[in-house]
Amino acid sequence: MKDVYFETIRLIERLHRQFLEVVKGELDRIGIEDINNIQALILANIGREELTVGELTNRGYYLGSNVSYNVKKMVENGYLEQERSAHDRRSVRVKVSAKGLGLCDQIETLHQRHIGAMSQGVMTQQDLETLNMTLHSLERFWSDNLAYGNRAMPDGVAVSAA
């Protein structure tokens, strides 16, 4: 099981990096140079909502990137609008601008192209549902392990450093 577990971890990391490269390739293809792939993912995660930077950080995983810095750059480049909360002056809410919504639509088109191509024999919806259930189980295991440490391990399972 150890080899399969480590391969799963490596595969998750590779898939994330490959997806970032796919997004970068799409940005290059459509001639967008003032936003990077991580920023495009942040933008897509905001979508048509209005969020605080903290909510945005909790919603996505951006490989250690500085979400505040990326939000600042997207505001400077016209992809996001921000405003201070009327109720809490320390809190800043962001929403996608018209320019940003245009890019969100293009990222959605990319997803639709991928879905169409995958449905041509690469994967079925059921394959993806099964994969998602498995990944959610792994996520829950890791989350419980972070929150509860060894207490999250089933009785009788020894955790060794080796």
Q: Using one digit for the tens of pLDDT, what is the confidence trace for 28-54?
A: 999 999 999 999 999 998 999 998 888
Statement: the pTM of the whole predicted model exceeds 0.85: no
Pick the closest to residue 35 from 107, 114, 110 (CA basis). Answer: 107
CB 70 within 8 A of CB 34: no
**Residues 56-71: tens digit of each pLDDT:** 877 776 666 788 899 9
Q: Which residues contact 144 (CB under 8 A, 6 or more apart)?
A: 152
Q: How far apart are CA 68 and CA 129, in angstroms?
A: 33
Inter-CA distances, 77 with 58, 80, 113, Å? 23, 8, 27
